[in-house]
């Protein structure tokens, strides 16, 4: 499924198109900090792990590009809570 994810730099989002619908992770990039703002999966695609696939992809993108991660998106935050291997990417480490 990862091969279907693309980065839309015009819209500042990562997109996964499937069955005529598009799931997204919106972001803001400032220097070496990427802020994940919002994750949205269309109702027709929910329950298939698409949000988690996107979360993993964007976090791997941040890691590969040496970006620190700031979170405003509760979905990405909960993904990191379940996958602590990504905690080191966070701009603000949990206490």
Q: What pTM does this model have?
A: 0.92
The count of C-alpha atoms lying within 13 angstroms of the C-alpha of 55, restricted to the half-sphere facing its C-beta, is 23
Question: Considering the domain boundaries, does residue 72 fall inside one?
Answer: yes
Question: Considering the domain boundaries, does residue 94 fall inside one?
Answer: no
* pLDDT tens sequence across 19-66: 999 999 999 999 999 999 999 999 999 999 999 999 999 999 999 999
Q: Which residues contact 27 (CB under 8 A, 6 or more apart)?
A: 12, 13, 14, 34, 35, 36, 37, 58
Is it the case that residue 91 has pLDDT exceeding 90?
A: no
Domains contained in the chain, number: 1
61: CATH: 3.40.630.30
Q: Cα separation of 53 and 8, whole Å?
A: 17
């Amino acid at each position: 499924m990862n091969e279907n994810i693309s980065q839309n730099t015009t819209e500042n989002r990562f997109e996964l198109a499937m069955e005529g619908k598009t799931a997204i992770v919106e972001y803001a990039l400032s220097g070496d900090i990427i802020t994940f703002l919002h994750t949205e999966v269309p109702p027709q695609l929910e329950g298939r792990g698409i949000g988690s696939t996107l979360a993993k992809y964007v976090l791997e993108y941040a890691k590969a590009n040496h970006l620190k991660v700031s979170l405003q998106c509760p979905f990405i935050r909960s993904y990191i809570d379940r996958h602590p291997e990504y905690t080191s990417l966070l701009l603000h480490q949990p206490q």
